[in-house]
Amino acid sequence: MKDDYSDIINLEHHKSENYPWMPESDRAAQFAPFAALVGFDDLIRKTAEQHLRKVEERHSQDF
């Protein structure tokens, strides 16, 4: 089996007869609402703050 796509590599890109070409900015924007890790940044920040507080507490107890 050939995996070099030589049978399709030079074919013209399909153009829909029903839908106009969508600009790249619009194509990218359609995925913007999807965020699998909503709230993950906040969780990382809170965890880091808790860790820093613990480190500071341990450091202040050593001196």
Closest CA to 48 of 56, 37, 38, 60: 56
| pLDDT, tens digit (0-9, with 9 covering 90-100), for 27-62 | 777 776 666 777 888 999 999 999 999 999 988 887
| pLDDT, tens digit (0-9, with 9 covering 90-100), for 9-27 | 999 988 999 999 888 888 7
pTM for the model = 0.41
Instruction: Give exposure, 44-62, as e/b (b: 16+ Cβ within 10 Å).
Output: eeeeeeeeeeeeeeeeeee
Written as one string, the DSSP assignment of 13-56 is PP--SSSPPPPHHHHHHTTTT--TTTTHHHHHHHHHHHHHHHHH
Domain range list for the chain = 36-63
